[in-house]
Amino acid sequence: MSVEDEEEQPAEEDGEDEDDDISNATAKTLVRRRRDQLVKLCENRGIEAGGTKPQLVEALLQWRDNRSVYTTSPSSGATARPPSTSRPKRRSGQNATPVLERSDRVQADDPSTPKPASNPLVVPMDDGVLLDIEGLGLEDSVIPTSKLTKLDKIGSGGFKDVYIGKLGGKKVAIAEFRGQLTEMDIKELKLLARFDHPNVVKFLGVSIPDNPRETPMIVSELCSNGDLFDYVRNVPAPHLNKVLNLMLDIANGLKYLHDHKPSVIHRDCKSSNILITNRVTAKIADFGLAKVKQSTRSMVRSLVGTVNWQAPELWHAHPKYNFKVDVFSCAMVFWEILQWHAKEQKFPWEASSLHAGMNEHAIYETVGAKQQRPSVTGLAKQWCPEIVELMEKMWAQDHKDRPDMTYVVQQLEALKDAYPPPRSKAR
């Protein structure tokens, strides 16, 4: 059953009662319920009911947020940002104890909890298992808070506030979590520590404050030009060669993730998750929804991401998909880049003076059933026909018809050679 079909069913047909209503639930209220109640809530919604209680809670809140009608939030200037990823929102007023803690603090909180012999950090999970920081591959990435200086706030999103900071005299980005770290956050930390590529944001370390009321911080390289979403709206449209350079950066970053051992599917590729450095290099960021794919033959099952960039095979209660969902989303990002020259730069299916915009249902119908895509009128003439042809291959309806990122990189490299930068005029 597709998400669209599922949402058209009235609550009475699902037998929904007061106990079954999660419209106003939070992670804190849901986790108080018994596991069998959470399983029933999942089953009533067609959600795969497996895993720990926090995993069930996460799945329920993701399902609920994916049912929400499409909304936008203000961004810089008059441009509206796309909806954020379908992760449950935390209340900023919650003073939950961070999941990542020092071992002596955990010992003091619960004398019955065994203290790891040599690990300075542990991760107490819902089932009582302690995962040490060494197991996450972060034992060499712990940064003392005394070495960090937090400066101006430069952004907020999801569960984090991002600041410019200093580490050893060098400017860095500091992402400070709001409230308790989830298993999704822990997974993101583990993934970041493994990555090493010029087109993937470089992870520098994690800092765990001594004060138990303060939340952990992720320290990464600073991309001073912000995200691609704002960059294309605040900087004049460049020459085609520079546009191709940015596209190649994004393609190389995704290719690295797909070729990684084990392979990683980003699952939320969009302009706000691509950061731009001071040298105008694009880097893939935000791996909170990334999925480690242990087998190249397997299809992953779960619904995540932002619908405006999503591949249609994701729109099912139990979707089956592979790394080609990133190829589709990358094509949508390319389309967004190709709006750079327009008076109104739009993200896919955004409202405009000529277009009323679409909620999620309308996007499902347009992209899924009608197999339509954003307009490419005039783009071949403005930029080049080859990039439009490549983009249309990448957003093919059937994932089997889409190229892989290796092919995309090869095509973009050839286009860069075919469309060199303009020569500077001799004085």
Among 187-196, 222-231, 285-294, 381-390, the range scoring the smallest mean pLDDT is: 285-294
**What's the CATH code of the domain at 194?**
3.30.200.20
Q: Among residues 67, 90, 121, which one ends one of the domains?
A: 67
Q: Among residues 17, 44, 67, which one ends one of the domains?
A: 67
Average pLDDT over residues 263-275: 89
**What's the CATH code of the domain at 403?**
1.10.510.10
Q: Do 323 and 363 reside in the same domain of the chain?
A: yes
Residue 22 Rama label (left phi>0; alpha psi -120 to 50; beta): alpha
Residue 84 inside a domain? The answer is no
| 204 alpha-carbon distance from chain centroid | 19
Residue 191's pLDDT is what? 76
Quick check: 161 and 178 in contact, CB under 8 A?
yes
Q: Which helix (H) or strand (E) covers residue 3, if one does?
A: helix 3-7
Q: Do 139 and 166 reside in the same domain of the chain?
A: yes
Q: Do 206 and 306 reside in the same domain of the chain?
A: no
Domain limits at 106?
A: 101-221
Q: Do 192 and 317 reside in the same domain of the chain?
A: no
Considering only CA atoms, give the Rg of the chain.
Answer: 22
Catalytic residues: 268
Q: Do 145 and 244 reside in the same domain of the chain?
A: no
Residue predicted with more confidence, 359 or 3: 359
The whole-angstrom separation of Cα 420 and Cα 161 is 39
Residue 199's pLDDT is what? 97
Residue 180's pLDDT is what? 60
Pairing state between β 170-177 and 130-132: unpaired
Question: C-alpha angle with apex 307: 305 to 309, nearest 5 degrees?
Answer: 85
Q: At residue 195, what are phi and psi to the nearest 5 degrees?
A: -80, 140
Q: Among residues 191, 221, 251, which one ends one of the domains?
A: 221
Residue 118, judged by CB atoms within 10 A of its CB (0-12, 13-18, 19+), counts as exposed
Q: Do 264 and 396 reside in the same domain of the chain?
A: yes
Q: What is the mean pLDDT of the chain?
A: 74
The whole-angstrom separation of Cα 163 and Cα 209 is 16
Nearest to 162 by CA among 201, 118, 121, 114: 201
Residue 347's pLDDT is what? 86
Q: Do 187 and 248 reside in the same domain of the chain?
A: no
Residue predicted with more confidence, 115 or 363: 363
Those residues whose C-beta lies under 8 Å from the C-beta of residue 336, and which sit 6 or more positions away, are 228, 229, 232, 271, 345, 346, 347, 348
Residue 117 Rama label (left phi>0; alpha psi -120 to 50; beta): alpha
Average pLDDT over residues 364-392: 91
Residue 36 inside a domain? The answer is yes
Residue 250's pLDDT is what? 98
**Has residue 211 got a pLDDT over 80?**
no
CA dihedral 318, 394, 287, 154 (to 10 degrees): -130
Q: Do 114 and 207 reside in the same domain of the chain?
A: yes
pLDDT digits (tens, 9 = 90+) for 280-296: 999 998 865 555 544 43
Q: At residue 239, what are phi and psi to the nearest 5 degrees?
A: -70, 155
Alpha helices (H) in 165-204, listed in sequence order: 183-194
Question: Both tokens of residue 382?
Answer: 């403005």
pLDDT digits (tens, 9 = 90+) for 307-336: 788 888 877 767 788 899 999 999 999 999
Residue 42 inside a domain? The answer is yes
| Amino acid occupying residue 68 | S
**Has residue 263 got a pLDDT over 70?**
yes
pLDDT digits (tens, 9 = 90+) for 157-201: 656 788 999 998 899 999 887 666 666 667 667 777 889 999 999
| Amino acid occupying residue 325 | V
Average pLDDT over residues 115-131: 39
Residue 405's pLDDT is what? 97
Q: Do 271 and 378 reside in the same domain of the chain?
A: yes
The whole-angstrom separation of Cα 232 and Cα 343 is 11
**Has residue 50 got a pLDDT over 70?**
no
The whole-angstrom separation of Cα 274 and Cα 201 is 9
**Has residue 18 got a pLDDT over 80?**
no
- Structurally, how many domains does the chain consist of? 3
Average pLDDT over residues 359-380: 84
pLDDT digits (tens, 9 = 90+) for 66-118: 654 333 333 333 455 655 544 434 434 444 433 444 333 333 344 444 443 33
**Whole-number Cα distances in Å, 48 to 59, 267, 288:** 8, 18, 20
